[in-house]
Amino acid sequence: MAKLEIRNLHVAIDGKEIIKGLDLSIAQGEIHAIMGPNGTGKSTLAYTLMGHPAYEVTQGEVWFKGENILELEPDERSHLGLFLAFQYPVAIPGVSVANFLRSAINARRRAENPDDKGMPIPAFRKILKEKMDLLKMDHDFAGRYLNDGFSGGEKKRTEILQMATLEPEIAILDETDSGLDIDALRVVAEGVNALSGPNLGVLVITHYQRLLNYIKPQFVHIMLGGRIVESGGPDLALHLEEQGYDWVREKYDEAVA
């Protein structure tokens, strides 16, 4: 069973420490949510796991399948079975959603076997159709140009479809704080619910407590000041929904300052 293990992670941006010793372990089959107020370093964690060059890891390790992924390039992380959603996917006019997904699948096949000739088109079409049905998506969507004029919800839908076709073992999804509409939120939640099972581990990162109306994580973590300060089960999510973050701030203010 594959497991992503974050150990004592410290991350700095422009020399300023943002993540200050974070430990977290996510196994296949588990759904985790990291919640926390704005500015606590949630997106910093997501970008660091993706391998964004602006985020400097000053301490700690992230293990997956026997490798410290912090030493790998973003595409190598992906080929290993990690899915790291991009908050702001770029538009590529002229490239259809289907072509983009096929390139992604073929890139991974080539990473496993350099002589691979790519997935035959009929086989790819079959998979794409299955995944779109699973996600209750209109098949016409596959023919549209990638992210070209897509709404927030459609971008998220593309992202979830990409996740469905790549079949990662661990997926990390960061919710953007700005411009997140309820439609996009529902797409992510329904996608995660449709795809979750014993083979998929998910980390959903959000500041948006309403996500918990749609997704039922088994593990809920609260992040404050660059650390995970509380971990629990669905009860913790309920408590957050009723009480907000004030009690967390009060309880941990000293630790954060």
Binding site for ligand ADP (CB under 6 A): 13-14, 18, 36, 38-44, 54, 177
Q: Using the rule CB under 5 A, which residue among 28, 43, 147, 162 binds Mg ion? A: 43
Q: Which run of H or of E encompasses 24? A: strand 16-27
How far apart CA 37 and CA 222 sit, in angstroms, is 9
- Of 107 and 256, which has the nearer Cβ to ligand ADP? 256
Which tokens belong to 118? Answer: 């790519």
Return the bridge partners of 169, or none. none
In angstroms, what is the minimal distance from the CB of 181 to ligand ADP? 18
Query: Which string of x and - marks every residue 187-226 that binds Mg ion (by CB under 5 A)?
Result: ----------------------------------------
For 110, list phi and psi in degrees, rounded to 5.
-70, -30
Instruction: Name which of 128 and 185 has its Cβ closer to ligand ADP.
Output: 185
Task: Kindly state whether residue 147 participates in binding Mg ion, applying the rule CB under 5 A.
Answer: no
Nearer to Mg ion, 177 or 190 (CB): 177
Phi (first) and psi of residue 86, to 5 degrees? -90, 135
Q: How far is the CB of 36 from ligand ADP (least distance, A)?
A: 6
DSSP state of 197: B
- Give whole-number Cα distances, 52 to 109, 162, 206, in Å: 24, 20, 19
Measured from the Cβ of residue 127, the count of other Cβ atoms closer than 10 Å reads: 17
Residue among 48 and 165 whose Cβ is closer to ligand ADP:
48
Contact residues: Mg ion, CB under 5 A: 42-43, 177
